[in-house]
Structure formats: structure tokens, C-alpha cells
Amino acid sequence: MFVWPGRQGCRGSHRASRCSSRGGSEVKTSDRISSAFAAGREASQPLVVPFITAGYPTATSTVPIVTALAASGADMIEIGMPFSDPLADGPTIQHASEVALRNGMTVGKTLEAVREIRASGTDAALILMGYCNPVFAYGVDAFIKDATQVGVDGLIIADMPPDEAGEFLVSCRAVGLSLTFLVAPNAPDDRIRKVDGASTHFSYCVSVTGVTGARSAIESRTIEFLQRMRKLSTKPFVVGFGIKKPEHVMTLGPHADGVVVGSAIIDAIESVGGAGAVVVDAVNAVSTLVAPLCAAARQATMTAQRREA
């Protein structure tokens, strides 16, 4: 039985597994994440990591959007599990979560979408991002088991610091499910080392202090933070929380192993109708956005190589 140390007012239901393993992946979860970062290192190229909210803009849009992102060149994709109180997210992703919840999206349906994505042949690394309460409502043991069976590669639980991960981290590692922790720019050196050590394959750098959301420019202190991360980390790290333009990717790319694009993808879907968007239009919008970002990642590599020359 799983017990979450340090959490008050939450109880795991330990329900029986409810997702069929049919359509899940036979590849070890850690292999896709390791392979993605290894390929990036070999090419000296940062990964572009799109984020979408499951169930946004429609209940049936998750699978076609994720498969389109993978076809557009994304080797790693974050899928947000919608939650009614997403404290780490800005208004754009909060809105997407609200729409997804109205569409009836749940943790179980998110896992089913992952199963369908894998059944379609998509082999990109898939990371579920969410919050503690929905995982507890589902049942922690069942969630870890089902996530692994359907083909999830890793988890980011935004409101769970490594200090409180306890047996959750142990349970994830036991089944090869990667767990990633967040680190903020104001984190002291010992905190960065702790997050790096606790994260299974990579850590997630918050590029600005505060909630997520697209920014107009990258601040110099963000670069200084990433340089400090590089000095103190032993594992890869990605940076997110504000990236929306190719120039952002070119600025951050030389200093990180991956750049996460979230709010900009939601904005792109909003531009074609948001909750009322036709799925094919949403798919085209995100594909059109991601292509120049991937091109910018290649340019960021060239810039870094010239600097080293």
C-alpha cells in the first residue's frame, strides 16, 4: 500500500487498475526519454518539447494533436492532466484546463488517450504533467500501474517537491516510470543539486519566478540561471514557462537540453476557435507553430557550435 509522506487531507483510494494494457508500449519507458536526450546531445541540438492539455479544445482532440506534434518533429511531448486548481499555471493553461474539464476529461480518459496514441504508432516520449489531488483521487498505485501499461514515459507533478516524493519516487522507479521535479531561478545551489539528484532523467527549469505563461522576451537572469544549472547538474534539464517565439528557442537553446512550449500552443488553438475549434484546424495550428520552433532549435545549435569554434 502506498503512503504519501507529508501530505495532509489526501488519501489514495488504491483502486484496481482500470486501463487495459492493450495498445500500451513494449518499450521500457526510460528508453524513449534517454534516447531523445542522447539524440539531442549527438546532434548538439536542444529538444523542442510541446505541451498540450488533454481534452482541449475538444474531448476527442488529444490523440490527433499529439500524433501531429510527433510527426512535426517533437521527440518528447508533455500532456497536461486538467485540474480545477492548477496553481503553477498561468491564465492561458488554466483556461485550457477549465475547457477540458467541461469536456469531461479525467485522469482515466487521459491515460486512455495515451493508449490510443501508442496504438497509432507514435513513439515520442510522453510525459504526463499534473497535480497531486487528481492522482490521489484516481489511486496512486493504480495510476502508476496504468500509466506504465498504456505507454507513459514520465511524470511531472507540479506541486510535489522531491522532499515529499518519498515512496512515490521509489514506486515510479520500480516500474521504469521517470519522475521529474521543478526548479526555480531563485533556488540555492544545494536545492538545484537535490532536484537534479531526485529527478530520474531530467529536471524542469522554470524560466521565470511565478506561474506559467508566454513572455515577450527572455531576461538575462534566466540565462544566468541556466548557466548555473549547467554547472551544478549531472543530468539533462529542460526550460519552460514562457517560450513562444523562435527567438526564444534560439536564445535558450544553447543553454538547455530542451525547451518547453505550452501557452503558445494553447494560444495557437485559441486563434482558430479555441473550444469551438474544428479538430483539423487545431491540428494544423499547432503543427504550423512547432515547425519554426524546431527550425530555431537547429539554428540555436549552429550558434552554439560557432561560439565554441
- The neighbouring-strand residues paired with 180 are 156
The closest of 162, 144, 245 to 204, measured between CA atoms, is 162
At 48-92, the pLDDT tens digits run: 999 999 999 999 999 999 999 999 989 899 999 999 887 777 788
The residues near 26 (Cβ < 8 Å, ≥ 6 apart) are: none
Residue 207: the pLDDT is: 60
Among the options 75, 89, 196, 270, which is catalytic?
A: 89
d(CA 110, CA 128): 9
3-state SS, one letter per residue, for the chain = CCCCCCCCCCCCCCCCCCCCCCCCCCCCHHHHHHHHHHHHHHHCCCEEEEEEECCCCCCCCHHHHHHHHHHCCCCEEEEECCCCCCCCCCHHHHHHHHHHHHCCCCHHHHHHHHHHHHHCCCCCEEEEEECHHHHHHHCHHHHHHHHHHHCCCEEEECCCCHHHCHHHHHHHHHCCCEEECEECCCCCHHHHHHHHHHCCCCEEEECCCCCCCCCCCCCHHHHHHHHHHHHHCCCCEEEECCCCCHHHHHHHHHHCCEEEECHHHHHHHHCCCHHHCCHHHHHHHHHHHHHHHHHHHHHHHHHHHHHHC
d(CA 218, CA 97): 26
Residue 277: the pLDDT is: 87
d(CA 11, CA 193): 30
Beta-carbon count within 10 A of 1 CB = 7
Known active-site residue 26: no
d(CA 133, CA 84): 10
Is this structure's pTM higher than 0.85?
yes
CB 293 within 8 A of CB 247: no
Residue 1: the pLDDT is: 41
Pairing of strands 178-180, 182-183: unpaired
CATH class of the domain whose range is 29-308: alpha beta
Known active-site residue 89: yes
For 208, phi then psi, to 5°, come to -140, 155
Residue ranges for the chain with pLDDT beneath 50: 1-18, 20-26, 210-211, 213-214, 302-309
The rounded Cα 28 to chain-centroid distance in angstroms is 18
Among the options 31, 42, 75, 78, which is catalytic?
A: 78
d(CA 259, CA 228): 17
Residue 302: the pLDDT is: 37
CA angle 212, 45, 27 (to 5 degrees): 85
CB 87 within 8 A of CB 132: no
CB 212 within 8 A of CB 240: yes
Residue 29: the pLDDT is: 57
The closest of 105, 170, 114 to 138, measured between CA atoms, is 105
d(CA 288, CA 52): 15
CB 264 within 8 A of CB 51: no
d(CA 66, CA 80): 12
